[in-house]
């Protein structure tokens, strides 16, 4: 095998990892989430854009407000997950470019003056960061239950009322509980995905 990553780590992050649908009641701490973020913040994005914003839903009131916007099949598991994160794209990410892309501070105005351009770039790069976040949860030895079955406009208004964000995903986080996994679904093979030109 040519992969440098230890096979046990490959299993933890990819082969054995699944989307969790049930969790134990073991808490997920702020320290764990900070360690996850401090790892995944290094994932590459275009021009080092960092549009991902994360709201950790901990209080009972916030959980109720969240659950009302979820698809029916996502409500119960979200009500009982130890921690839920709402992940969104900040459409005003370009304001931070002079700090995070310092060798070309003009990029903020040269490339992202138009809102529609910012929204497309924020959605793509924050989606990359969502993927890194899920892998980071797995790297912490926790299970992630990412979902997109929700009223995105309702969630955005609920948790980002200023209107500069777009919710991309909701992720349940914790230790997997009993019957947490569905059977592994098939994946496309290499020859079905990769072509050489």
Q: Where are the domains positioned within the chain?
A: 20-177
Its pTM surpasses 0.85? yes
pLDDT in tens, 54-73: 999 999 999 999 999 999 99
With residues binned 3-state (H G I as helix, E B as strand, rest as coil), the percentages for the chain, rounded to 5, are 45, 15, 35
The mean predicted confidence, pLDDT, of the chain is: 95
Helix axes 60-67, 72-80, angle to 10 degrees: 170
Q: Residue 81 is encoded by which pair of tokens?
A: 């997950």
- Residues 135, 38, 2, CA angle at the centre, nearest 5°? 45
How far does CA 11 lie from the centroid of its chain? Answer: 20
Q: Residue 65 is encoded by which pair of tokens?
A: 């407000």
Range of weakest confidence among 119-123, 163-167, 181-185: 181-185
Looking at residue 182, its pLDDT comes to 87
- Kindly state the average pLDDT of the residues 144-154: 96
Class of the domain covering 20-177: alpha beta
pLDDT of residue 1 exceeding 80, the answer is: no
């Amino acid at each position: 095998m040519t992969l440098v990553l230890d096979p046990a780590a490959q299993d933890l992050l990819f082969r054995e990892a699944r989307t969790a649908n049930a969790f134990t009641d073991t808490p997920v701490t702020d320290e764990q989430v900070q360690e996850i973020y401090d790892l995944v913040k290094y994932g590459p994005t275009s021009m080092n854009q960092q549009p991902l914003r994360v709201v950790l839903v901990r209080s009972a009131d916030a959980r109720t407000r969240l659950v009302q916007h979820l698809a029916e099949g996502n409500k119960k598991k979200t009500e009982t997950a130890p921690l839920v994160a709402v992940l969104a794209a900040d459409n005003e990410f370009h304001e931070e470019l002079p700090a995070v892309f310092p060798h070309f501070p003009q990029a903020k105005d040269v490339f992202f003056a138009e809102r529609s351009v910012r929204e497309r770039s924020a959605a793509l790069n924050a989606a990359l960061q969502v993927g890194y976040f899920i892998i980071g949860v797995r790297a912490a030895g926790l299970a992630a239950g990412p979902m997109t079955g929700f009223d995105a406009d309702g969630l955005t208004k609920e948790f980002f009322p200023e209107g500069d964000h777009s919710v991309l995903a909701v992720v349940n986080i914790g230790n997997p509980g009993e019957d947490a996994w569905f059977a592994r679904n098939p994946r496309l093979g290499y020859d079905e995905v990769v072509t050489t030109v």
